[in-house]
A and B are shown apart, each in its own frame.
Chain A
Amino acid sequence: MVPLTPDLLQAVTKPARYTGNEWNMSRKRHEDVACTFALSMPDVYEVGMSNLGLKILYEILNRREDTAAERVYAPWIDMEAEMRKRRLPLFSLETRTPIREFDFLGFSLQYEMIYTNVLNMLDLAEIPAYAVERDEDAPFVVGGGPCVYNVEPVADFFDLFVIGEGEEVLGELVAAFVRWKNEGRPKGRAGFLRRAAGISGVYVPSFYTPRYIDGDFAGMEPLGEDVPTVVYKRVVRDMDEAETMENPVVPYIGIVHDRIMLELFRGCSRGCRFCQAGMAYRPVRERSTKRLRALAREMADATGYDEMSLTSLSSADYSCLDGLVDNLMEDFAEDKVSFSLPSLRIDSFSIGLADRMQQVRKSGLTFAPEAGTQRMRDVINKGVTEEDLMNAVSAAFRKGWKSVKLYFMLGLPTETDEDIIGVARLAKKVVDRYQEITGKRGAKVTISVSCFVPKAFTPFQWSAQNTLEEFERKQRLLKENIHDRSIQFNYHDARVSRLEGVLARGDRRLSTVIYEAWKRGARFDGWTDQFHEEYWLGAFEALGVDRAYYNERERRRDEAFPWEHTSPGVSRAFLRTEWDRAVKGELTPDCRRGRCTGCAVCPTIGARVIDGGART
């Protein structure tokens, strides 16, 4: 057990990040189980504890009698310094066991800018960064989460990846491990990895070699006949049947999402062309209202939380949301539980719901029109018109909301200055609408503008990213066009998005760059106050890697991509057609309640759309 003395805990901010013991935590004696699994998100406790996927896996694994799952998050800068000074290894929250003593160490990879934290945590755990350097006793380092849809830049650091939803795969992986262990670990580490590679949804990067022709990626070579050329994602086919979270851990300190997360459905097929989640998590699979009510009750009783968020990629699309909200409000009338929707669809239906749920007025409402002109919104297949937005904000202002937050992106394919000025115009119209409706000024409109990052497995995967100069010019242009004091303009650091752009479509050759950046001091790159571009620039330069090759170039139509062997099942042909339609500004409808639009996910992975609206 790693000792945490009072003087150590008093030396760091928020010591409760490291002391565990929370309500519903599971603690087992390691002698009593056959497999120990450390689950991690390589970010600070408050962020890691808010991740739904890990919460689910934690419970499912701990329901197994033969397995102990524990948690570990990235120590904050101050704790890292103390741990290094005192030579304390990275430890789990439940039993304070050194992480290197676990059988598995699983990382949920939510965004590229967290990669250096993985290396830092491995280092603190005294586990070699590169998988090839790990000895027989080291844990198997497992990766999962959205980044697996282009995982090559970090492939060398992991023993294996789970592609897609982990609920079922993880159990199969553990079972395979226990069998291998009981048989006396035949053929050692490599022997287990061979077996793991046979599980559908498991990608073992060391069994594949990338091929390059003239410096360009040309394909992935599977080593051995028993490894698949393409590893397709796994999904839960029936959300009602699937095992899930019922007794989430209740933290002692405030976390980012400090409430019950009730997951209404998986997937979203609205088909926004910039959105990786929309392509990667298909098809839509809803939970029945009956199951949701039962889960809501279970979790409320088990946690004592008085807040519940109805989460999904676009919760307002749930087929019987009206009825569900009525039911839940009735079920919990005595319990003083409040409900909220994490994102609102741009229509008055959503406002009506938010109003009924008495969503807090002060914090305002958030909408994501994503682009400032109709032309641009058609390119990205955001099926929203200016009228929709005006109707939605009008309804909100009438119901008493004063502040509205609008999300936009800069640097989308085919974007012109007109589209950028359109963002300012739209915001101004929203401000004016407030005055028309209420007869007074005082609206607060925040526009939050991010820099577009082309992502793998989206129709924009061929697209070039804007240069730093272009992004900064566009940010200035937008700023100059905002004249109203009621509009607040927030924008992202383009340097971070540009780096994200490199990693999001990078290949295996980038692993040395990531390693070098970490060596130079990079960590918590996703945290504005911790990001130091110079570590990264230095690393690219030292290794002679050209960043622009990865993010500034429009890719050839027939170019081989280093991410296509870990696939969500969406076909390249579909994405290509969508790219062509985007350029022409043609819309593609949602397949959820309409016809299949041929993305190929359902037949490829053997799943189907489950939606209450379509079923009846």
Chain B
Amino acid sequence: MSGGTPKTVGGYCRARITKDEALRYISHLDYASLMQRAIRRAKLPAAYSEGFNPHMKLSFASALSVGVTSEAEYMDLELAEVLPEQEIADRLHPVLPDGVRLIGLKVLDDKPKALMALVDEAKYEVTVPLCGSFDGVQAALASFNAAKECVYIRKTPKKTREIEIRQYMHGDVCAKEEQGGLLRMTMAIRITPGGSVKPQEVLALLCERYALPVQPDCASVHRLALFGGGKALLSECAGEVRT
């Protein structure tokens, strides 16, 4: 993104933040500019690109679709000046809007590989009202999980496309019955250079094709984790700041 800019004396930091209920309906772009404003309020010495319209050197891992909450949003920020982790966290903390919490933060020694390129898997939790028996759920999931191939028809205003979903599923879709007539499912989805699938699409397919007895319109989707090469994006960080 920063092209051929020479290495400056600055630093990099990676943060794990959330997108909570209050921000559920904000687009990824709006979420990104909201974080930029928070960073400016925090008076962190962010690095900017050169030119007429300087951009903050801030990048995100994987765009979250509107309507999905998350406890695993990652962002990399380039700083013009190195600051201790605790100080960055302390400055950010009071200026985060409702719906963003800072879960972890780590100063990186070198310019990191782009987050986008690192991420290859996302784990989601889907909570949805049950409208049948749990046995029905288990039967539906068993046959989905056992299927070799499963084609979903993705319709956008512009075009209709067929995508094979199984190639993107990592492990089984699991489900647990919760109080209040709710079903809680977890699924791990692969993010590949060739594409991916959305948890809502998996849910839609489970309902249409496998007769999963739930009300998909009332589902709430939550991202639990993002992984790169099987590791959480901040897991190996020493001195992670817990706030």
Contacts and interface: CB of A to CB of B under 8 A. Distances in A.
Interface of A: 6-7, 9-10, 14-16, 19, 21-23, 250, 252-254, 300-306, 335-336, 338, 358, 360-361
- Chain B: number of interface residues, binned into ranges: 20 to 34
A306 B37 CA distance: 8
A300 B181 CA distance: 48
A305 B220 CA distance: 32
Interface string B28-70: 0010011011111101000010001110100000000001000
B140 interface: no
Nearest to A12: B25
Given A6-B220, A21-B99, A338-B53, A252 B23 contact: yes
Contacts of B67: 6, 9-10
Contacts of B40: 300, 304-306, 335
Contact of A9 (B23, B25, B37, B53): B25
Nearest to A301: B41
A253 B26 contact: yes
B98 interface: yes
Given A335-B40, A360-B53, A16 B99 contact: no
B48 A336 contact: yes
Contacts of A304: 36-41, 95
Contacts of B110: none
Contact of A16 (B26, B56, B95, B97): B26
B13 to A, nearest CB: 18
A419 to B, nearest CB: 39
Interface string B93-109: 00101110000000000
**CB-based closest 8 A-B pairs:** A304-B37, A304-B40, A15-B25, A304-B41, A23-B97, A21-B22, A21-B98, A16-B25
B22 to A, nearest CB: 5
B30 A252 contact: yes
Contacts of A16: 25-26, 30
A112 B10 CA distance: 54
Interface string B157-189: 000000000000000000000000000000000
B27 interface: yes
Q: Which among B25, B26, B48 has the greatest number of chain A C-beta atoms within 10 A?
A: B25
Given A10-B217, A16-B30, A335-B40, 10 more contacts: A6-B67, A14-B25, A22-B97, A23-B97, A252-B34, A252-B97, A253-B26, A304-B38, A336-B54, A360-B53
Given A7-B218, A10-B67, A304-B95, A19 B25 contact: yes
Contacts of B217: 7, 10
Contacts of B37: 23, 250, 303-306
Nearest to B67: A10
Interface string B207-237: 0000000000110100000000000000000
Contacts of A9: 24-25, 67
A349 B61 CA distance: 45
B77 to A, nearest CB: 14
A301 B37 CA distance: 10
A455 to B, nearest CB: 37
A252 B36 contact: no
Contacts of A254: 30, 33
B19 to A, nearest CB: 11
Contacts of B220: 6
Contact of B52 (A22, A302, A306, A360): A360
A305 to B, nearest CB: 7
A306 B27 contact: no
A253 B27 contact: yes
A9 B22 CA distance: 12
Contacts of B41: 301-304
19 contacts: A7-B218, A9-B24, A10-B67, A16-B25, A16-B30, A19-B22, A19-B25, A21-B97, A250-B34, A250-B37, A253-B26, A303-B37, A303-B41, A304-B37, A304-B39, A305-B40, A306-B37, A360-B53, A361-B52
Contacts of B48: 336
B63 to A, nearest CB: 16
A593 to B, nearest CB: 34
A336 B43 CA distance: 12
Nearest to A338: B53
B128 to A, nearest CB: 11
Contact of B218 (A6, A253, A300): A6
Contact of A306 (B23, B36, B43, B97): B36
A10 B40 CA distance: 31
B109 to A, nearest CB: 26
Contacts of B39: 304
Nearest to B43: A301
Nearest to B219: A6
Contacts of A300: 40
A154 B99 CA distance: 41
A254 B31 CA distance: 11
Interface in B93-146: 95, 97-99
Nearest to A337: B40
A22 B100 CA distance: 12
A250 B95 CA distance: 12
Contacts of A22: 97
Contacts of B38: 304
A304 B91 CA distance: 13
A296 to B, nearest CB: 14
Nearest to B96: A23
Nearest to B40: A304
B211 to A, nearest CB: 21
Contacts of A15: 25
